[in-house]
Amino acid sequence: MPMLKDPSIKYRKFPSMHLPNRQWPSKSLDKPPRWLATDLRDGNQSLPDPMSVEEKEMYFDKLVEIGYKEIEVAFPSASQIDFDFTRSVVAKAPDDVWIQVLSPCREELIRRTIESLKGAKKAIVHLYLATSECFQRIVFGMTEDEGVELAVRCTKLVRSLTKDDPSTAGTEWQYEFSPETFSDTSPQYALRICEAVKQAWGPSEDNKIIFNLPATVEMSTPNVYADQIEYFCTHISERSKVCVSLHPHNDRGCAVAAAELAQLAGADRVEGCLFGNGERTGNVDLVTLALNLYTQGINPNVDFSDILSVIKVVELCNKIPVPERWPYGGQLVVSAFSGSHQDAIKKGFNDRDEIVKAAEDSKEVSTADEIKWQIPYLPLDPVDIGRNYEAVIRVNSQSGKGGAAWIILTHLGLDLPRGLQIAFSKIVQREAEAVGRELKGSEIEALFRKEYISNGFVLKEYDIVRVDEQARKFVGSVEFDGREIKLSGVGNGPISSFTDALSNGFGVKVEVWDYKEHAIGQGSNVRASTFIEIRVDGKEKRWGVGIHEDVVQASILSVLSSFAGFL
């Protein structure tokens, strides 16, 4: 069937909530939530090929290294792998890391689940039971009362096997209950079942019960989820004994927004997976959430300084690539191909260099507002997450002068004058169109060297002497095409005397149009780079570049590089 002209005959509009006094729209995020990484459970259960024990171990170690303190490691009653993995994590988890495991509300599965945690230092037992009308009717054939009764019975069972069992006193226990499909559950029923579960568990302010309120299927705009969460947070009794947790899925592509708005609405904790792995379109992406906070100046309490190693582990274990456009982690998200973006980024870096240098010179405090990150098109400094500026500007046929100039700056340290940028960008553009693909940095550098640095001349001995106050004389020789050519000329400085010498030696008229120079490097390694634009016999002007420890020789080399193009 094609798409319906009137989809309303098949699909229901999700009702918004009547919450006239909602507070969350005027709040802003100012601290990170408690994080729970469920990559090894929700992420793993959605993989075509679930992880092996070795892969889970590698993944677990990475989560710990990043700084996650609550990690859902398995569904121990699902498979021997999950059970064995939980046992191995119990043995090796750092003292400050909570191991979380999931079970449905089935007695034998709960017993097996808790058995897997024996000897753990810190453990969270997580039960789920679907509470939406749709699931209760279609999946369970259960009434609301029966749902409450089952949830309470199972909670009491968990309690008797954990915190009420003196033989498990070596373990610190937490309990989490998820009214599954919360996003599609009547808010009143979600409250009712959670109140009953809370009473059965008996939480305290020091050991709160976790109510995880999943958007098991994302069914509405994020503001509706935020309303549902605010309603729950403001109506649940003994709020100080409750940790409200979020578990957004991404069916409508809004999981990150839903998690952020729902934190404004009062939630304390977020469950998700690295790079949004998980059922269907995935769980909310923990990397995006954390780095969204970071780029607002808030420490997310997890560390992605080496994001490439995180991607490596995620891709290896999930066997699913991180898409190239994925926020923060995607290969292309710190790359600009288009000319106007490159131009703005390059100017942004120049501006930043100047500001940082000025701040250093005046020894101003580094938190001063002006030195805060502000580069057009780059919301995050790639260096902060272990990437470099190499990939920031990439060049293809959509690029402008700034792109190629940036590559030459980063590869050769040459800050090209505007005129040379324009001239070189035409050459790069022609090449990019000819090959029909992106040009690599090394290819652009080779084009530049060929066009502006190599020249086929060998500069033999030379001397520049003072004739009088105004005049200098160049005397020397060059080798070109196997011939030695004697040169002699006079001008008002080294460059004009040399161009005069070339004019005399080659029987042409050499005119200088533009000249720029700057230093490369610092201290004893400093070299001069000179850029010169000349015209020979009225033909089209050409640039040449010279690099040398001696600024006069650099100038002579730049003239030769340019001059060679006319021969």
Ligand X SMILES: CC(C)C(=O)C(=O)O
Residues interacting with ligand ACO, by CB under 6 A?
42, 45, 75, 77-78, 104-106, 109, 128-130, 139-140, 180, 216, 279
Smaller CB separation from ligand ACO, 200 or 334: 200
CB 558 within 8 A of CB 546: yes
Question: At its nearest, how many Å lie between ligand X and the CB of residue 255?
Answer: 11
Helices first, then strands: H and E counts in the chain: 17, 14
- Give the separation between CA 499 and CA 491, rounded to whole angstroms: 8
Place of tokens 């750092």: 94
Smaller CB separation from ligand X, 33 or 489: 33
467: left (phi over 0), alpha (psi -120 to 50) or beta: alpha
- Give the separation between CA 172 and CA 163, rounded to whole angstroms: 8
Instruction: Return the exposure string of 91-106: e unless at least 16 CB atoms fall within 10 Å of the residue's CB, then b.
Output: eebeeebbbbbbbbbe
Q: Which two tokens stand for residue 527?
A: 């070299």
Q: Which two tokens stand for residue 372?
A: 């805060």
In this chain, which of 131, 212, 277, 530 binds ligand X, going by CB under 6 A? 212
Smaller CB separation from ligand ACO, 65 or 115: 115
Question: At its nearest, how many Å lie between ligand ACO and the CB of residue 292?
Answer: 25
- Give the separation between CA 258 and CA 294, rounded to whole angstroms: 18
Counting contacts by CB under 6 A, is residue 214 touching ligand X? yes
Counting contacts by CB under 6 A, is residue 216 touching ligand X? yes
Which of ligand ACO, ligand X, none does residue 105 bind to, with CB < 5 to 8 Å depending on kind? ligand ACO
Whole-number Cα distances in Å, 163 to 123, 160, 170, 174: 11, 7, 10, 9
The two beta strands, 242-248 and 70-74, are unpaired
Q: Which two tokens stand for residue 28?
A: 């802003």
Smaller CB separation from ligand X, 125 or 414: 125
Three-class secondary structure of residue 270 per DSSP: strand
Which of ligand X, ligand ACO, none does residue 139 bind to, with CB < 5 to 8 Å depending on kind? ligand ACO
Which of ligand ACO, ligand X, none does residue 75 bind to, with CB < 5 to 8 Å depending on kind? ligand ACO
Question: At its nearest, how many Å lie between ligand X and the CB of residue 41?
Answer: 8
Counting contacts by CB under 6 A, is residue 400 touching ligand X? no
Smaller CB separation from ligand X, 33 or 505: 33
Smaller CB separation from ligand ACO, 136 or 399: 136
Stretch that binds ligand X, among 211-219, 223-231, 323-331, 343-351 (CB under 6 A): 211-219
In this chain, which of 178, 288, 318, 399 binds ligand X, going by CB under 6 A? 178
Stretch that binds ligand X, among 13-21, 212-220, 475-483, 512-520 (CB under 6 A): 212-220
Which of ligand X, ligand ACO, none does residue 413 bind to, with CB < 5 to 8 Å depending on kind? none
40-59 mask for ligand X (x: CB under 6 A)?
Answer: --x-----------------
Question: At its nearest, how many Å lie between ligand X and the CB of residue 330?
Answer: 25
Counting contacts by CB under 6 A, is residue 185 touching ligand X? no
110-139 mask for ligand X (x: CB under 6 A)?
Answer: ------------------x-----------
Q: HSE-up of 108 (CA within 13 Å, CB side)? A: 1
Smaller CB separation from ligand X, 128 or 498: 128
Question: At its nearest, how many Å lie between ligand ACO and the CB of residue 100?
Answer: 13
Environment class of residue 227 by beta-carbon count within 10 Å: exposed (0-12), middle (13-18) or buried (19+)?
buried
Smaller CB separation from ligand ACO, 278 or 417: 278
Cα distance from N-terminal residue to C-terminal residue, the chain? 70
Report the candidate in 357, 384, 389 with the shortest Cα–Cα distance to residue 371: 357
The two beta strands, 122-130 and 242-248, are unpaired
134-173 mask for ligand X (x: CB under 6 A)?
Answer: ----------------------------------------
75-114 mask for ligand X (x: CB under 6 A)?
Answer: ---------------------------x------------
- Give the separation between CA 497 and CA 9, rounded to whole angstroms: 87
- Give the separation between CA 534 and CA 543, rounded to whole angstroms: 7
Which of ligand ACO, ligand X, none does residue 51 bind to, with CB < 5 to 8 Å depending on kind? none
Counting contacts by CB under 6 A, is residue 247 touching ligand X? yes
Stretch that binds ligand X, among 89-97, 209-217, 490-498, 553-561 (CB under 6 A): 209-217
Helix residue spans in 369-483 (DSSP H): 401-412, 418-435, 441-448
Question: At its nearest, how many Å lie between ligand X and the CB of residue 182?
Answer: 7
- Give the separation between CA 327 and CA 142, rounded to whole angstroms: 41
Question: At its nearest, how many Å lie between ligand ACO and the CB of residue 128?
Answer: 5
Q: Which residues lie across from 310 on neighbouring strands?
A: none
Handedness of CA 27, 30, 34, 38 (dihedral sign): positive
Question: At its nearest, how many Å lie between ligand X and the CB of residue 179?
Answer: 9
CB 509 within 8 A of CB 503: yes
Environment class of residue 465 by beta-carbon count within 10 Å: exposed (0-12), middle (13-18) or buried (19+)?
exposed
Q: Site residues (CB under 6 A) for ligand X? A: 42, 102, 128, 178, 180, 212, 214, 216, 247, 249
